[in-house]
Structure 1
Amino acid sequence: MEIKSQCLSERALISMRAFIKKLAFLSFLFWCVSISGNSQQVPSYNYTTVDGLPNNAIRSLFVDSRGIVWIGTENGLSKFENGRFKNFFETDGLAFNSCWAIAEDKNGNLWFGSYGGGVSVFDGKKFRVFTQKDGLADNRIRHFYPYEDKMLIGTEDGVSVADLQTFQITSIPSTIRGNDLNYTAGFFEYENKIFYSTYRSGSFELRLKGGSYEAVKVNDWLPIYSFFTKENQLFLSDKGSIQQLSIDQFLKGEKPTQSFGQSIVWGHLNGVNQEDYLIAASLFSKDGGVFLLDKGQMKDVGEWLGVDSKFILAGAVNQKRKMLYLGSQDKGLYQIRLDDVITYNSFEEREVKGIAGDGDILAILSQDGLQIQKKEGSFAEVYSKDFKKVQSEFYQKFPHKIPKHLDGFFELDPAIPAEEIEYYELHKEGESWWVNTNVGIFEMSLEGRIRTYLPVHAYSIGFTPDGLLLETNPYAGVRIYSNPGNFEYTYFEPELSNTPLQIAKVVKGDQRTYLASVFHGLYHWDGQSFFSYKNEGLWKESKFKTMHSLGNGILLLGTEFGDLYQVQVHPKFEILKKWPKEDLLGSSILFIEEYKGVIFIGTELGLHILEEGELRFWSEEKGVFNRIFKTAKRIEDKLYVGLDEGYYIINLPELIAKEYPPIELVITDLKINGKAIDQENFRWFAYQNSRLNLGAEENSLSIRFQPKANLSNGRLRYHYRIKPGAEWTEFSEDALIELPYLPAGSYQLEVQVQDLFSGKITSNQLLRFDIARPYYLQWWFFLLMAVLLSGIFFVIYKVRLNQIRSESSLKQRIVEIKLEALQSQMNPHFIFNAINSIQYYILKKETKQALSYLGKFSKLIRSTLDQSSQALITLEDEINYLRQYIEVENIRMDNRVKWSIEGDALERKQDLKIPPMIIQPLVENVFNHAFSVDHPNPELLVQYEILSKNQILCTVKDNGEGIKAKKGSSHQSKGMEMIREKLSLLPGYTEQSVEFVSSKKGTEVRVIIFCG
């Protein structure tokens, strides 16, 4: 009993809180309904097969923990998210196309019950099907109920219990009766016990503890189509009514004693303010629909919610988004806003021309006249015929008071019939309504009685700060009426430079009245005179369409081309801020209103909200702003927006107080090179991997994404970049990113989503991915190519080196052959000269000298034979050879020649190698040609000097007569020719390798010889 008392006290507290919320909601609802006899409703939208539903007959609805709406129809299951449908059928793994029940278990799996095919369990990736073969009592599913670690399954005949871990299904035999009157009507819990009811077999307690399950009957009451509990009360749906009794009474077997309502109620929904919605559909009559349960009564709210179907079988509420979903048997799905932000009054589909009033009274001007609504519920109508009657009577009774067009009045046609009266504006000034039309200006009492008529045609009127009527003529100036009833006024002619012309809007301020012109800029009236801001040089802007006063000398003005200005006009003029038309969606500013510092701007595309520098945009969406704005007026904390058909009422505190969490994006579709990736990478329709590794050929991506939460408040725009620090793309409303032919590298796809409704921008790191380099840019390919090229280069090098070596060997051999040939030519020449010398001694009969000469000659011949077969000899051998030769030749000259061999090369004579017998012909020429017989002191100098590492200079110098001085100077020794030829075969030879300098004082021959 203590536990029960405590539960009751907690329930009482919860009930009190719920009652307060409910009372506030119902007060708002019934006030809205009571102020007008016209059709009034919250924003709603009806989705059908035209919008993507698989079937218009909806049997079940469910909002899961992810905010996704699931719709079970008689032919297919549908997922509804972000305004889009995705349908599932048997071909997608569903057990059966009909779906009569939906639930979610504690593990987040979804259970879909078909009528004839069993159960389908969806884990976010795939469906698993369970039928009677798996233990179900019946394949026709009516209800699910998550209970502890089980899922209770109510079928057409019996109850089954599914284990959430093993998915093992066990049916309770005592619940199966083998007839169609035993279908499960639902489950409920009370005092830690679980109960269920059937259509015509009674109600039972389910005992699920222990190894076996059983059902124990607690009440025989029938029929029960459905039921719901509220606090400690049980409401049973009967045919045509609801039976009510306490749960304790019911469990004792007692029968209901209270009855109310109509139709057959199939479900109960808790609204966002704890209000109770009942959904109903009769079998044979049209008395169903959606109802509000209040004080034991079912109030039909179908018109208020915009639901015209009388056969509602399913419903669900998204508490977070404050959205109600209703499924009909004949007209598809209804989506209804329950956030108290906006309501719609059809106003008999009349076009609203003007709105005025205060917290106690409201006046709506339409093409049919003026309707006055009081808060307590009464209303009055002033029709066009009433205005026409007053106008006609005035023209009949007071023809002398009719103003003339020539007097500066805008032309008025008194013959216009009532149905052609054009209404321009509605004003509330003091205790009067003022309406300006094309047949005149009318003043009425707050109850709607016409007090004053002015036969003046004016598009725009207004009032001075002291309450005087101000009438504008587009082309002929302004009149301020001190006594409209007597037609007394002050006229300001158009010829005056500051007289306002072509006025579009008149606004009364605290100390001034402001006038905005379509062509001539801004004016004001200060009680004494008019002032033109353009003509006085303060502000050149000249084209305005609308204006609003914020007080304290601050105005908001909308230009003809869509710019918005905030200006300080008193005490000193200053442009405080400008919003260019690019900042506002829409080309025209239709109205401007303000509430507690928040500015509301209406354009043809929706409502802009400016708050503390933040710009929000409430755009046209399903059920909201799908009509044309005509006028607007803030009255206390509500903004009334007149439309081409009816008007909206916007609850400004609710709108301003709405919270806007950051928007998280998920990838719903990913294609690589045009091919969708494996669905195993997705769960709950979102891509699960945060990083993607792609091959070099996989360089074109197509990425579709969407908000994770189920959003539909307004427009979302996106832009992205693929690397940090890169430029952002332009904003787009398309949630698709195409990335074709990306180069190799690492990428980080970042998407910013701009929620125009909240004015906030949220960044999302959507995907990281790497595209591998092509194989020809991989490090291993560079290494392989380096090795391959090195190998090719090495092979080419070796082949070429061998070729060069072969060519060099061949050339060397040719040189050697030529040298040998030359040497073979030089040896006979030398022998020829030596024999001549021996012959000379013999002829002179100098036998001793001939023998001595012959001995030296034989040594010389031996040295010549040794050197003639060698390509190179040491410088020492060459000098020794020359010494032997000079001695032989000098004997022939009677040893008169003084000779010497010297030079710095002699220090390295054993290291340096030169070709043999190069200098010998030059020495031979000296002995043969340089000295005459009577030369007094012949001298010969052979000098070796090192020029470089591979070159030595050999100088042969004598003090003879010189080559040119000798007779027959044209003679050139054959030996000299052989020297040149031999030197030309050696490296480094040029024409300057052998030089002759000859004079009367002697001859000098310089020879540059290659040395090794």
Structure 2
Amino acid sequence: MNALCNVILRFRRAVLFLLLQTVLLPLHAQFEHYISLGNREGMPSNNIYQLLEGTDGFIWIGTNRGLVRYDGRTFRVFTTRDGLPTNDIWQMEITPDGKVWFISRSKRWGYIWKDRVYSFQAAEGTIPSSSFFFIDRDNLRFEGGKRQNTLLSGIFALRDNVWQFEDSLAYPESIRGVGLDMRGLILPGRKVMYTGTDPVYITDFENNRLFTLRNKGNGPMLTSFREVGLGRLWDGYLLMYMSRESATLFNLRDKSFVSRKLFDSSETQVFQGFAEYQRYGAHYFQGSKYNQFVIVDSNLNFIEKHNFPEIYPAAHILKDRGGNYWMAGPQGGLTVFPHYSLDVQRYFNGEKVTIVCQTGKELIVVAGGNTPYVRTNGDTLFKRIKHTIDFVISVNSYAPENLYYMGGRLGTLYGNDLHNLREVRYTYVNVKSGLRLPVHPNIKDMIRLPDGSYMALSGSRLHFFDRNLQTRYDIVYGPGRHYIYGARKLLYWNNTLYIGGDGMYRLHNDSVQVVPGLPESMQKGILYLLPFSKEYMLVGTDGSGVYLYDGAQRAIPVAGSEGFVINKIVLRNRAMWIATDNGVHRIEAGPDGHSSYLAESFYMEDGLLSNNVNSIDFTGDTLWAAHDQGLVALNLSRGKYRTSIRPFLDTRDIYRINDSTYALTYGDLENIELDFGVLALPVQKYMTYSFKLGENAGWFTSATTTLSLGKMNPGEQYIYFRAADQHGNSGQFRLLLQVRPLWYQTFWAKAGLVLLIILLATGVTLLLRLRAERRQKAALSLKGRMSELELQALRSQMNPHFVFNSLNAIQFFVIKNKVELSEAYLAKFSKLVRMFFEYSRYDSLLLEQEIDLLERYLEIEKLRFEDKLSYRVEVDERIDTEEMEIPSMILQPIVENAVNHGIFHKRGNGRVEVVFTYINDNSVHVQVKDDGVGIHAMREMYRNDTRNYRSRSSEVLKERLKILSENKLSKWQVKYSIRDLGEEDPGLTGTQVDIEFIYKAERDAR
């Protein structure tokens, strides 16, 4: 049973092998589309030693000007400035952890990892070489030698940042000896593998045979390691080497090997003596020699085998995981065949193709500007359609009748058989200078009308033909008997004939009329007309894109077509395909019937021969594009242009924590500038970029991959970066941006600050409340004291002497029978008493009230003293007595003292003067002066007189003035002084009181 199963398994493998040979071995013609990359695109040199694909998908290129990493857009060059020991890097190896190891003619070898170069010195006296590499998961070891008394052969391994020499043996003739059949290779683990005609076996360093390897195939066995190029051992058990044409694969785990010839014989070239190879995935291997490329499985069975076009003598060919083929050499730079190259076919190379038209069963093209060709669907060849009408310009068909009709310079072709079309020629006579000159129509466009007749456009002339394309009549002139300038395209739509040229025209009652009201951009040139719906036609312009036009005056620009020269429009699967001067574009219509968006674009990088496309059409999923350089067919089957797009953070500084986190402290950078990259192979010429700040924010587009954020506030912010190519493939990257706060911006600092503010606010509030309570108590106490003093002042004003003297005066006037005078005195006295009691309720009085009070008081005293007393009250005219206020019960006691203590005790007449002087709007100076006995005389009198009650009013006045001046709650500041006039002039007597009232705040209107 096991034997039967093995037979069946071998049979299935054989069948699969034959199928793979048949299906996966395309001719080199299938690789006609490629993209060249060189110095102009950023390559430091066209002298390329090696191509590798990194574990992260980047393409690594070894050159004589440094190591290069390519992401599809940017060539990142590593040189001695970055830490390489030399720029001439001729060998690379990549370990599974992503390190790119470099080997050069230097004693410092190392690797590049995460955009940093690490290089390490070889141990003293050692001789590194690069014949065999031992590739582990995160480390690279290689063969080398050390010259001691004798030459030692061993393995170099990186230990303690130095390339150490280990597992060594003396270098006898039995190992790599010259002229012997058997050759040995030192393996890790102190083993040696010997190859020969038969058998291949493994020994230890003591020459004890461990096991023998069996040959699973019948291919040629290499008899010497001197006949091979580089050898590689992967994962400790899978060893491979190649000669010029063959490969041998050893599996030390199942103790077997297999050999096979992989490449055709060819002449040896100086820059490639041996074939190159690399691992391709976990189970396959790829190899190349010159322009030959293969992929084989673990039994060296072919999976792919290609002969690439000899653009230049290639020495290195690599297939990446995305299916792109990379080719390079020492002379031609870098060339990439995109993964869709196998699906790009070229025809009519070097010929101008003007028309491509799919009729339903056939594809018709016009090449060379003259000859139409037909390709039946399913066929691979184009067959020429014979004719003599010269320069075919218009090709059309009418499917219901299987009818074809074409227009050219000399006439028309029509019929049901493309290889037997009927020709109709037309000649017109133009009379010029008396000569009858024949003129050919030179038909530019031709359409079939609903009644089966035809209409053709020839420069400024409209031709009407019957069903047999015989001339019915012509319309020679356009509107106003002028030419139809620039006429190029005809369209019969909604029972109206439209003509596109330098503007839009329509035919009405055999008269060509200009369509009014069109946008100026449509009037510059109309190149194509096509029905879109019952409501709109499509109008392709010369540089203004496509418009939806309702046939009247409404023209809607089609989004995504702006700025293009529209050479042709094709409607397919509800999408609008446009051939332009800058590629082919697919525009999808919106659900409302007139909105649209650009969904996909195709350019030279996608397989077009140039970005200027003359015409397009479809057969199934194949897009045919006509160019001045030929015709190209692109297979647009689902997924053909699908590719991986992987954005990443390209900024590498001290703030980059890992691949998706960027962290710094507030203030470290005045402007946070983040550089992003995109890994998208093979090229990224038409990539678009957009950003958004936060999950719920909106996307905004950017012309670059750099984002400037300025000085960000502390906190965390997700930055989203999105890249999309011209085919709708896109990738998104999310970066966590962390801005750490300074110590005073932290939560605890803010919480502590808030707590401190609360404590301070509470303390201040309590303090203010305590001070307010104290002030309130002080104010109450002061108010009580002021009330007491005011009462005392009132008492002083109403002292018994004043009342007694006033009553005596009244009595005296009555006795003397001076009734009128006594009545007047009594009235004045009663009025003054009422004023005393009324004004005593106020803290302050208007100056006019105070002056009135003083004058009334002095008037009563004048009646009492008669001629002995004279007085004068003078007010500065600058003083606004109706607005200015002064404290109440201040001046009257002073004036009373002047009368009762100065004039009363004077022998002879006396005088009292009260003068109010303006200082400013808030200050007034009052001077009370008498020519009485003076202060010193009065004090002497009081000292000898026990009745000193009069002195009490002065004490009350002084205390009130002190409270007004020193109390902060008072709104007044009062300056008070008193002096004896005799102190300045002994010849004078009397007293002068100066008092200044200063209002601390703006006065309130009373």
TM-score range, shorter-chain basis? 0.5 to 0.7
Residue deviations 1:868-921, cap 9 Å, x none? xxxxxx99xxxxxxxxxxxxxxxxxxxxxxxxxxxx99xx79995899899587
Q: Secondary structure at the match of 1:968?
A: helix
Match runs of 1:570-649 below 5 Å: 578-580=556-558, 583-584=560-561, 586-611=563-588, 613=590, 615-618=598-601, 620=603, 622=605, 624-625=607-608, 626-649=610-633
- Tell me how far apart the structure 1 counterparts of residues 723 and 601 of structure 2 sit (CA, whole Å): 13
Q: Secondary structure at the match of 2:349?
A: helix
The one-letter code matched in structure 2 to 1:608 is H
Shift of 1:773: 9.1
Residue deviations 1:561-587, cap 9 Å, x none? 534356799xxx999x95535x33533
Alpha carbons 1:621, 1:712 under 8 Å: kept = no
- 2:683 alignment counterpart: 712
Q: Secondary structure at the match of 1:82?
A: coil
Alpha carbons 2:141, 2:157 under 8 Å: kept = yes
User: Is 1:545 aligned to residue 516 of structure 2?
Assistant: no
User: Is 1:768 aligned to residue 758 of structure 2?
Assistant: no
User: Is 1:93 aligned to residue 68 of structure 2?
Assistant: no
Of 422-431 and 640-649, the range deviating more from structure 2: 422-431
- 2:129 alignment counterpart: 140
Gaps (5+ residues) in structure 1? 34-39, 282-287, 392-420, 671-676, 795-873, 876-903, 995-1006
Alpha carbons 2:666, 2:739 under 8 Å: kept = yes
**Distance change (3 Å), C-alpha of 1:238 and 1:426:** farther
Shift of 1:776: 14
Shift of 1:609: 1.8
Q: Secondary structure at the match of 1:666?
A: strand
Query: Which of 847, 867, 872 matches 1:968?
Result: 867
The one-letter code matched in structure 1 to 2:676 is F
- 1:109 alignment counterpart: 99
User: Is 1:309 aligned to residue 280 of structure 2?
Assistant: no
Shift of 1:70: 0.4
- 2:340 alignment counterpart: 339
- 2:661 alignment counterpart: 689
Alpha carbons 1:267, 1:278 under 8 Å: kept = yes
**Distance change (3 Å), C-alpha of 1:162 and 1:221:** same
**Distance change (3 Å), C-alpha of 1:337 and 1:759:** closer
Q: Secondary structure at the match of 1:690?
A: strand
- Tell me how far apart the structure 2 counterparts of residues 184 and 422 of structure 1 sit (CA, whole Å): 73
Residue deviations 1:835-883, cap 9 Å, x none? xxxxxxxxxxxxxxxxxxxxxxxxxxxxxxxxxxxxxxx99xxxxxxxx
Shift of 1:331: 0.8
User: Is 1:330 aligned to residue 340 of structure 2?
Assistant: no
Alpha carbons 2:68, 2:75 under 8 Å: kept = yes
The one-letter code matched in structure 2 to 1:615 is L
- 1:737 alignment counterpart: 707
What TM-score do the two structures reach when normalised by structure 1?
A: 0.60
User: Is 1:935 aligned to residue 815 of structure 2?
Assistant: yes
Shift of 1:722: 5.9
Shift of 1:642: 0.9
**Distance change (3 Å), C-alpha of 1:539 and 1:269:** same
- 1:262 alignment counterpart: 266
User: Is 1:947 aligned to residue 837 of structure 2?
Assistant: no
Residue deviations 1:239-266, cap 9 Å, x none? 5x55899999x99899979995435662
- Tell me how far apart the structure 1 counterparts of residues 197 and 128 of structure 2 sit (CA, whole Å): 19
Residue deviations 1:27-55, cap 9 Å, x none? xx56x95xxxxxx7443122223433233
User: Is 1:56 aligned to residue 50 of structure 2?
Assistant: no
- 2:992 alignment counterpart: none
Alpha carbons 2:48, 2:63 under 8 Å: kept = yes
**Distance change (3 Å), C-alpha of 1:923 and 1:325:** same
- Tell me how far apart the structure 2 counterparts of residues 429 and 163 of structure 1 sit (CA, whole Å): 76
**Distance change (3 Å), C-alpha of 1:702 and 1:929:** same
Residue deviations 1:794-836, cap 9 Å, x none? 9xxxxxxxxxxxxxxxxxxxxxxxxxxxxxxxxxxxxxxxxxx
User: Is 1:505 aligned to residue 398 of structure 2?
Assistant: no
The one-letter code matched in structure 2 to 1:593 is V
- Tell me how far apart the structure 2 counterparts of residues 771 and 379 of structure 1 sit (CA, whole Å): 69
**Distance change (3 Å), C-alpha of 1:379 and 1:558:** closer
- 1:123 alignment counterpart: 113
Shift of 1:753: 3.6
- Tell me how far apart the structure 2 counterparts of residues 118 and 238 of structure 1 sit (CA, whole Å): 28
Shift of 1:210: 13
- 1:354 alignment counterpart: 355
**Distance change (3 Å), C-alpha of 1:638 and 1:666:** same
- Tell me how far apart the structure 1 counterparts of residues 372 and 488 of structure 2 sit (CA, whole Å): 22
**Distance change (3 Å), C-alpha of 1:58 and 1:170:** farther
The one-letter code matched in structure 2 to 1:452 is E
Alpha carbons 1:115, 1:139 under 8 Å: kept = no
Q: Percent identity, please.
A: 12
**Distance change (3 Å), C-alpha of 1:154 and 1:242:** same
**Distance change (3 Å), C-alpha of 1:463 and 1:236:** farther
- Tell me how far apart the structure 1 counterparts of residues 403 and 249 of structure 2 sit (CA, whole Å): 55
Of 172-181 and 98-107, the range deviating more from structure 2: 172-181
Query: Which of 670, 692, 711 matches 1:699?
Result: 670
- Tell me how far apart the structure 1 counterparts of residues 201 and 458 of structure 2 sit (CA, whole Å): 82
Alpha carbons 1:341, 1:650 under 8 Å: kept = no
Gaps (5+ residues) in structure 2? 146-151, 216-220, 269-273, 427-440, 591-596, 765-783, 872-895, 904-911, 917-921, 930-952, 961-1006
Shift of 1:79: 0.7
User: Is 1:667 aligned to residue 669 of structure 2?
Assistant: no
RMSD: 6.7
Alpha carbons 2:790, 2:840 under 8 Å: kept = no
- Tell me how far apart the structure 2 counterparts of residues 445 and 187 of structure 1 sit (CA, whole Å): 78
- Tell me how far apart the structure 2 counterparts of residues 629 and 463 of structure 1 sit (CA, whole Å): 26
- Tell me how far apart the structure 2 counterparts of residues 564 and 495 of structure 1 sit (CA, whole Å): 25
Match runs of 1:338-487 below 5 Å: 338-339=339-340, 343=344, 345=346, 347-357=348-358, 363-367=365-369, 369-372=371-374, 378-381=381-384, 390=388, 422-427=391-396, 435-442=406-413, 451-455=422-426, 456-464=441-449, 470-484=455-469, 487=470
Shift of 1:323: 1.4
Shift of 1:935: 3.2
- Tell me how far apart the structure 2 counterparts of residues 203 and 507 of structure 1 sit (CA, whole Å): 82
Shift of 1:665: 3.6
**Distance change (3 Å), C-alpha of 1:506 and 1:242:** farther
The one-letter code matched in structure 2 to 1:339 is Y
- 2:289 alignment counterpart: 280
- Tell me how far apart the structure 1 counterparts of residues 197 and 641 of structure 2 sit (CA, whole Å): 49
Shift of 1:325: 1.1
**Distance change (3 Å), C-alpha of 1:539 and 1:688:** closer
- State the number of aligned residues: 788
Match runs of 1:739-754 below 5 Å: 742=711, 748=717, 750=719, 753=722
Alpha carbons 1:160, 1:171 under 8 Å: kept = yes
The one-letter code matched in structure 2 to 1:693 is T
Query: Which of 480, 485, 500 matches 1:517?
Result: 500
- Tell me how far apart the structure 2 counterparts of residues 446 and 534 of structure 1 sit (CA, whole Å): 39
Shift of 1:927: 9.1
Residue deviations 1:449-475, cap 9 Å, x none? 675242342111234578765422343
**Distance change (3 Å), C-alpha of 1:381 and 1:710:** closer
Shift of 1:335: 1.1
